[in-house]
Amino acid sequence: MGRILKTVLLASIVGLGAWWLATLSGRISADIAGYTVETSAPAALLGLIVLFWLIYVLFAVVAALFRLPGLGGRWRAERRRHGGEVASTRALVAIAAGAGGDAMREAHKARRMLGDTAQTLLLAAESARLANRTEEAEAAFRLLAARSDSALLGYRGLYRLAVARQDWAEAASLATAAERAHPGADWLRPERSRLAVRAGDWAAALELAPRGPARAALAVAAARAEADPKRAAALAKQAWKMDPALTPAALTYAETLRAAGRERVAQSVLRHAWTVAPHPDLATAALQPIADKLEREQAAQRLTGANPQHPESRLLLTRTAFEAGLIGEARHRAEAARDAGLHRRSLFLLLAAIAEAEGANPAAGRSELRLAADADPDPAWRCEACSASFPLWHGACPTCATPGSLRWRTS
């Protein structure tokens, strides 16, 4: 409807203009080079209008001819831009599909058409990395790192390459450079913590670690590596408060208390830890100051008083009774543990030792040894991330470097 109204309005204006032009009166004459031209006023005015229109068209054509080279250049540039965008899209699709060769080919085409922009350099680097062309990928990432608008992309790519070849020193240097280029980047904090773990810088790893169970393990490792006794004690206490069930945390805290002459508090920490999560090392630490074997057996009863039915409590009471020469009591405790369902190798080895100490039936000892060979394995420190096992606890798994992943279990 609006278009119709505009057309009608324009036609009306043209019609009124033509009517006004036709109603003009008078004549116009001109002498040009001996020639006399005479015409009516409407015709003369119409001729001027046509003349101005022809001059305008002429100037427009001349201007277009002057602009023609530039228009051709812009057309070619637009064609390159469109081709570069198409090549970039194809490179992205090839990267997503894992086709490294196709991705490199399209990335090179995009780079040739669009130049070394942040986008084309990133495509070239990622496609080269996917195709295992490490040198080409590194060169492209370094060009990205040299740009102020894409430095983080370059440093992150170089960092991934350094980690892949396990060059931890270079990876740490690149992480620091990435932090300077883009302070507070979310991905940097866990990566820097991981590098600190690899380097054994437990204090830095603890500072960078997110909230979670790994922090307690890192605090223990930091306390054990700390040269300042006061700082070590503070870290150990922090670890124990974060995870009272973590045996190394309780042991480290008790050691710092014992070193400070606070034996009673240290024993209290060990008893609490045994109540939460019994472990043989807790018993070793708790009984360490006691030399007399009978007193050790009594101290073991006090230690296990709050959790006497636990397998570790049964084994500890059996062992201390045996070491104290209470052979009958040791057998009674061992058989009670066996009858309660404990089928662990260490229990049958204790039964074999008890049978040998009794001396009445040598065959019984050999029978217990055969049972020990087929019994359940004793617990060990096992990594929840990679399932590797270790006789000693570590702040991070020595195999996969996962902090706080070691747990005391049989499998």
Mean pLDDT of 11-36: 62
Mean pLDDT of 316-344: 92
Please check the confidence at residue 70 and state whether its pLDDT lies above 80.
no
- Residue 176 CA to residue 388 CA, distance in Å, equals 31
Mean pLDDT of 15-32: 61
- Higher per-residue pLDDT: 178 or 40: 178
- pLDDT tens-digit profile of 358-387? 876 666 667 788 888 888 888 999 999 999
Which residues in 368-391 are b (16+ Cβ under 10 Å) and which e? bbebbeebeeebbbbbebeeeeee
Mean pLDDT of 3-21: 66
The model's pTM is 0.68
- Higher per-residue pLDDT: 63 or 404: 404
Mean pLDDT of 145-155: 90
Please check the confidence at residue 35 and state whether its pLDDT lies above 70.
no
Which residue segment(s) compose the domain that 173 sits in?
Answer: 76-178
Mean pLDDT of 46-75: 70
Q: How many domains does the chain have?
A: 1
Q: Is residue 406 part of a domain?
A: no
- pLDDT tens-digit profile of 43-53? 666 666 777 77
Q: Is residue 280 part of a domain?
A: no
Q: Is residue 84 part of a domain?
A: yes
Q: Is residue 145 part of a domain?
A: yes
Q: Is residue 367 part of a domain?
A: no
Please check the confidence at residue 195 and state whether its pLDDT lies above 90.
no
User: Mean pLDDT highest for which of 48-52, 207-211, 317-321?
Assistant: 317-321
The pLDDT score that the predictor gives to residue 269 is: 95
Helix, strand, or coil here: 340? coil
Q: Is residue 303 part of a domain?
A: no
Mean pLDDT of 335-356: 90
Residues near 280 by Cβ (< 8 Å), separated by ≥ 6? Answer: 312, 315, 316
The pLDDT score that the predictor gives to residue 300 is: 93
Which residues in 232-264 are b (16+ Cβ under 10 Å) and which e? bbebbbbbbebbbbbbbbbbbbbbbbbeeeeee
The pLDDT score that the predictor gives to residue 44 is: 60
The pLDDT score that the predictor gives to residue 208 is: 85
* CATH number assigned to the domain comprising residue 170: 1.25.40
The pLDDT score that the predictor gives to residue 17 is: 61
Q: Which of 163, 159, 206, 202 is nearest to 182 (CA)?
A: 159
Cα–chain-centroid distance for residue 121?
Answer: 23
Please check the confidence at residue 64 and state whether its pLDDT lies above 90.
no
- pLDDT tens-digit profile of 108-131? 998 888 888 889 888 889 998 988
- Higher per-residue pLDDT: 410 or 51: 410
The pLDDT score that the predictor gives to residue 19 is: 60
Q: Is residue 89 part of a domain?
A: yes
Q: Is residue 116 part of a domain?
A: yes
Please check the confidence at residue 390 and state whether its pLDDT lies above 70.
yes
Is the CA virtual torsion 307, 309, 313, 319 positive or negative?
positive
Can you read off the two tokens belonging to residue 89?
């899209």
- Exposed, middle or buried: residue 8 (CB in 10 Å: 0-12, 13-18, 19+)? exposed
- pLDDT tens-digit profile of 242-277? 999 999 999 999 999 999 999 999 999 999 999 999
- Residue 225 CA to residue 259 CA, distance in Å, equals 16
